[in-house]
Structures are given as C-alpha cells and as structure tokens.
Structure 1
Amino acid sequence: MTDTVAQQTEGARPGVTLGQLGLGSGRLAAAHAVMNEAEAVALARARWSLDVVAATRLATEKDDTFRLDTSQGERFVVKVAHPDEDDGEVAFEAELMRHVHESGYGVPVPELLPSAGGRLLEPVRDGAGRRRLARTMTFAPGIPLDATGTSAPERERVGEMLARLRHATAGFRHPADDRVCAWDVRHLPALHPLLDDVPDAAQRQTLATGLARYTDVVVPQLPSLRGQVLHNDFSTSNLLVDHDTAEFVTGVIDFGDAVHTAIAVDVATALLNQLPRDAARRPVPDLFAEARDVLRGYLRRTDLTETELALLPHLVMGRVVARALITLHRASLIPGNTTYILRNTAPGWAQLAWFLDRTPDEISTTFL
C-alpha cells in the first residue's frame, strides 16, 4: 500500500457512549431467540435454492451461523445477523468481503452467493418473528488456527496474509465504514464504566491501571496514525490453515469487526492472538516471542512507521484490557453463552501483568 492511500485516522471520538459501542443496553448486550438448524435448512433452500440436507451450528458471539451440507456433497455457510444489527453495517461487511474476494491480492475469503433473487443479503423473518438479514457464502477449507500449533515460517505466512489483506482493503470505502466498534481500541477509554462489572477487586484494579496507562501513552498519539478500512479481528479463530500448503492460510473469515481504523490497531489485534496463553503457569521473558514472527512476515510485504512500531505493543495491551472488560460485561448479561464469550479472557491476566511490570518506555522499544 502506498502512502497516498493511507489516511490519517481520527483519535478516540469524544463523548462515545457504551450504547454507541453496542454495549450497555445496545446491540452487543442483547440476547435473542436463536435460529435452529431446521430454520437454516429451510432458509437456504427457499432463498438460495440449495439442496441442503443438513445444517450444523457454528459457535459465534452474536449471530446465528451454520455450515450447510448439500445432497451433492458441497458445503456452504449461512450467517443470519443478530436482529438488532444495523442493516447498513451488515451491508458494509458483505460489500467488503466481495471487494476483497475480487481484489486480486489472493486473500482467501469466502465468496458470497447471490440469492435466487440476485441479492447478497436477504431480509428474513425468524421463528420468533424478528426481521434479520441473511447471507450465504462458500465454505472455506482448512482447520482453525487456534486448533493447531505453528512453526516460525508458518507464523510469518500469517503476517504476510495480514499485509495482503491490508492492501486489498486499502481503497475500499462505504457509508458505514466509520461505525463505532467496541473492539476498535481507539475507543478504549469509553469502556471505563465497564470496570464496575469486574467482580474481582484485584482484577478490577489491574484493568484500571492498564486503562490509565493506555489513556496517557496512546490516546494523545492516535490522531497521528495512518488509517483505512481494515479487518480488525485477524485472530487465530478467524484464520483457517493447512500445514501442507505453501500459503498455509487457506481462509480469512468473519468481517464482523471491520472498520475504518488505524493500521497499527489492526496489526496489534493479530499480534495479541500470538501471545502465550499459559504465561501465568510458564512466565516468559519476551511475551512477543512468537508474535515477532507474524510481524516479520507482515513487514516483508508492507510497512509500519517508527511511531506505529513504538505504539504497537501498547495497542496490544489495550486490546487485552478491552477483551477483559467487554467479555466480562457480556457474560454477565448473556450467561447462556459464557463459555464462548470468555474463551480468551483468562489468559489475559498474566499477559496484562507482563505489560504492567515494565515501564511505558520499555514497552515502546519492543519492536524498535
């Protein structure tokens, strides 16, 4: 990507509320009557004319997603948005996926299938009578990256794929691309009220300390960072891989957190997901030992400025704080989905301790 495409990103928006972030009483806080497998089969048959014989629910945070198996042995995925999801934002995600698929950068995203009516998004009524938007796409091959180990060269392939995705999304714009996303750590200070939802006093104080450091070190520099539309959730659960292929990454899925944000924020999310999950049991001198491989591959295909490299580890810390605050809050509101919501929360306490055991200046030199 050239510097002429990258734009300066705005910093944290003043006055952003939990409701705007989809928290509090907003969209991400809401449970809904889930769609069942029979509904998914009927939907795919009626709207996409697919001869579906079985549907298998896939674990998700807030929508209903199913793997579809057809009588011809083909596989597809149908995703039905949360009833409270904004139509414009769902359209943004769908159009972005199509743009990346057609970009020519070789990013293996699922291909959206037009419905029998020629639409990428189909408005439907679920069994509870609520209007929702549905989309169907090809089933990406491979196994989830969070279900397997990786070698250093494979992690470099992950970084290269993130860079290719950055190039693919660089020129994309949409009226909803500036949505306010809870997982965009530019808005981390707005999550401060969620400290009240942390039941453990020691953990609450740790998160408050991390939040204060982020506010002091990162927030003043956010307006200087380059920005564009980005995936913003390049996590191990959103990457499909195959150890026997040269590319290694065979699928990039879930554009649900895509947004126009800082390039460094996008990279920080990818690095976060390479941190050791057992740092509490097995303390490490370098929390980024494996994440450096991802960054090395990324920088082989694109660039980061010295300012971005200095802020990058602080942004990773900010994502650790955000993950704890958001997941603990949502688990308290939707107890029926706590296993999925909290699946990555516990490892974050030791990761956050690693950051706070070091001075901000020490953290800033991590990648310099």
Structure 2
Amino acid sequence: MSNGRDGVAPRLQPSDLRFDPPEVDEDVRRVLLRQHWGLEGSLNRLDGERDQNTRVTTSGGDVFVLKIASSSEDRSVAEFQCAALDHLAQADPELLVPRVVQAMAGERIVNLESDGVSMSARLLTFLPGVTFDSAGSLGPDALVGVGASQGRLASAFRGFEHAAATNFMAWSLDSGMVSNEELWTDLSPEGRACAAPYRERVESAASSLAGTRHQVVHNDGHRGNLLRRTQDTTDVIGVIDFGDIAKTAVIADLAICGASFIDCHPNQCAALGSIAAGYHSAMPLDSNEVDLLADLVLTRIVLGLLLVEYQARHAPSHRLTEIASELPSYQANLSRWGELDPSATTAALHHQLDTTERR
C-alpha cells in the first residue's frame, strides 16, 4: 500500500494487488524476441491483468506468447509459474497446457530493462482452441468433463512445492481480500446492494479454509481459461493462464471453476453437482470440503465483484471496456446463487457425489 499521511490510512494501489501490467513498446518487444529467442513475426496484444501478453506468430506459422511481468512482481513468481508448467509436463505429459520455451542461452526467464525499470520476460507455447466464453449453458456430461479437467490438473500438482507458492495472490479465496474494508467501502451502490447481504456468510466461508487441505492448484478454471476444439464441441482439450496458481485450498479450486460455469445455467445447483462429480472423479474430495462448496462458490462471486469493481476504477484504458462488461454477469450470478438455500444445495451435492461413487 502507499504510505499514509497526516494520519490517513493508506489506500490500496494496483501494485498491491498486482493489477499493474507494464506497457513495453513494440520495438522493445521485437528486440527482446530477436535477441533472446531468435524470433521475428507479427505481434498481437492479448489481455493481461498483471502481465503484458503478446501473441507472436512467425512467418513459418509457429505461435508463442511473450509474457512481460510487472516491475512490482518479484521474479520468483515467474520462476514459480515456469516450474509449475515444467512439473505438469513431467507429472502428466498428456495434459495440454503451455510449455516454457528456453531462450537461446538456456534461460527460462530473461531480464528486461525498459525506461529505467527492470522486468522479467518469458516465452510460452500458444495453445490453439476456443474458450468456453460463448458456450452458454452446458449439459451434464460437458460439465462433468469440465470438473474432471480441473481435478486432473489438481491431481497432477500433488507433491509439487515451490518457495513462491504461498506468495500473495489477490484472487485466492483465502487471500483476505473478501474481507478488505476498502474494497467493500468503495463498491458501487449496485454492487453493494448485491453483495452486502452475503458479507458475513462469505467471510465465514473464507476463514474456514484454514482447516482444509491445501496444495498448489490452477486456481483459475473459469470459462476463458479452458479450451475446446471448436465452437461446436464441449470437450475440454486444454487449459491456459497459470498466472493465478497458488498453494491454497483444494476445494477453492473447484469453487472457482463452479462459479464460472454455473453462470447463466437454468439449474445452478445441478450444474455445480455435475462439475463437482467430475472433479471428485479425478481429485477425490472429503465430506468437510463438500460442506463448504456452496458458500465458497458464493465467496468467489463476491470476491470477483469486489476485485473487478476495483480494477474498473484503476485499470489501464485498454482494459476498461472488457472489465466493465464483466460486472453485470457477476451481479446477476450473485443474486441467483445467493438466493438458493445453502443447506439444500449442500445436501444435493453430497447426494450427487455419493451417487457417482456407487456407479
């Protein structure tokens, strides 16, 4: 946070939450690619909350993603993400996730000095496919597949440790951000009307995570990070964006995925049950974790509203339109999920998983 003056409490800054992607000129990025990876090609900007992301397409048709981290982010975070992708390549080679591309001198991460600021850069392979952003309401089998893909990732991460795995990650459900007074105070009237009735409930759920199983997980299995082959298919073929990976509660990983895929579904409880069944088939859950799931889905939606509203106030201009477009969905999803009886939802989830195990 910035320093307080005259007794005024310090305010959150984008760098506190790592919501400050750099702006590196295209000419600098071209020199970086040429010097360290020997690459030339067309450059196209990709969205990035904390990194400046660029799709690089060579004349031969090879495609990569250049990621330049914010100067506020310690190099160890990039090292953690690279190590995680390397681990997945060994633990489950058939998982379709990005791969780290070594520079010509053998580095996985290179230093970049631009306008007197030091940053780290890395290159990843680009995964082809179509996200689930426009997939609409998925059927039970497709939702089971979604859950299974995230459970498989979590299972592959078992035993993986890294010194930076417990670094602060704003989007983790146990980060403390869902209880941050400044975020609540600065909510818009519309956001406050949606979220305030559930504040006590979600803060209690987040605090309960301390007593659950923790490990490194993907932590970001939303519709925009899971890939299918075409607009007409629903099988998950790949997973992208490992920028939010963290050592956190396993059940939170499922809740994050569930919160995204139940959005706009006509039967949200049944949809979450299908996702949970798929996750459970690859990464078995215990009863206490399932007890928390309904409230953790709510926690994810509330946290999303808090952080997206914050970003709408502070994000660089090129991201504002996209961020603003997310707010109505968060508000609608929060209202619909919050109205469900959590006890009945939890009972239905247990029944779904018990039924799945007996098959």
Asked if TM exceeds 0.5, the reply is: yes
Question: What is the TM-score with the length of structure 2 in the denominator?
Answer: 0.86
Q: Which residue of 1 aligns with 2:84?
A: 96
Q: Which residue of 2 aligns with 1:135?
A: 122
Q: Which residue of 1 aligns with 2:236?
A: 249
- Counting only pairs closer than 5 Å after superposition, residues 100-111 of structure 1 correspond to structure 2 as 100-104=88-92, 106-111=94-99
Offset at residue 367 of structure 1 (A): 0.9
Match of 1:303 among 277, 280, 284: 284
Q: Which residue of 2 aligns with 1:169?
A: 157
Q: Secondary structure at the match of 1:57?
A: strand
Question: Distance in 1 between the 2:295 and 2:2 partners?
Answer: 22
Residues 37 and 57 in structure 1, CA contact (< 8 A), matched pair in contact too: no
Offset at residue 41 of structure 1 (A): 2.5
Deviations 1:158-188 (A, max 9, x none): 2221111011111110111111211111224
Question: Distance in 2 between the 1:247 and 1:29 partners?
Answer: 33
Q: Which moved more, 1:99-108 or 1:135-144?
A: 99-108
| Paired AA for residue 117 in structure 2 | R
Question: Distance in 2 between the 1:62 and 1:163 partners?
Answer: 26
Task: Give unpaired runs (5+ residues) of structure 1.
Answer: 1-16
Q: Which residue of 2 aligns with 1:334?
A: 315
Deviations 1:52-85 (A, max 9, x none): 2211111122211111111222111111111211
Match of 1:206 among 178, 194, 198: 194
Residue 223 (str. 1) matches residue 216 (str. 2): no
Residues 162/143 of structure 1: CA separation in 2 closer, same or farther (3 Å cut): same
Q: Which moved more, 1:184-193 or 1:137-146?
A: 184-193
Q: Secondary structure at the match of 2:258?
A: helix
Q: Which residue of 1 aligns with 2:355?
A: none
Offset at residue 366 of structure 1 (A): 4.2
Question: Distance in 1 between the 2:258 and 2:21 partners?
Answer: 32
Offset at residue 266 of structure 1 (A): 0.4
Question: What is the TM-score with the length of structure 1 in the denominator?
Answer: 0.84
Deviations 1:69-119 (A, max 9, x none): 112221111111112111111211111111112212522111101111211
Question: Distance in 2 between the 1:203 and 1:220 partners?
Answer: 22
Q: Which residue of 1 aligns with 2:356?
A: none
Deviations 1:99-143 (A, max 9, x none): 1122125221111011112111111123x3321111111111211
Residues 231 and 257 in structure 1, CA contact (< 8 A), matched pair in contact too: yes
Question: Distance in 2 between the 1:273 and 1:219 partners?
Answer: 18
Q: Secondary structure at the match of 1:249?
A: coil
Residues 219/72 of structure 1: CA separation in 2 closer, same or farther (3 Å cut): closer
Residues 355 and 363 in structure 1, CA contact (< 8 A), matched pair in contact too: no
The number of equivalent residue pairs is 339
Question: Distance in 2 between the 1:118 and 1:207 partners?
Answer: 49
Residues 259 and 301 in structure 2, CA contact (< 8 A), matched pair in contact too: yes
Residue 345 (str. 1) matches residue 327 (str. 2): yes
Residues 226/30 of structure 1: CA separation in 2 closer, same or farther (3 Å cut): closer
Question: Distance in 1 between the 2:195 and 2:226 partners?
Answer: 28
Q: Which residue of 2 aligns with 1:362?
A: 344
- Percent identity between the two aligned chains: 27
Question: Distance in 2 between the 1:335 and 1:341 partners?
Answer: 10
Match of 1:292 among 270, 273, 283: 273
Offset at residue 321 of structure 1 (A): 0.5
Residues 363/292 of structure 1: CA separation in 2 closer, same or farther (3 Å cut): closer
Residue 197 (str. 1) matches residue 179 (str. 2): no
Offset at residue 33 of structure 1 (A): 5.1
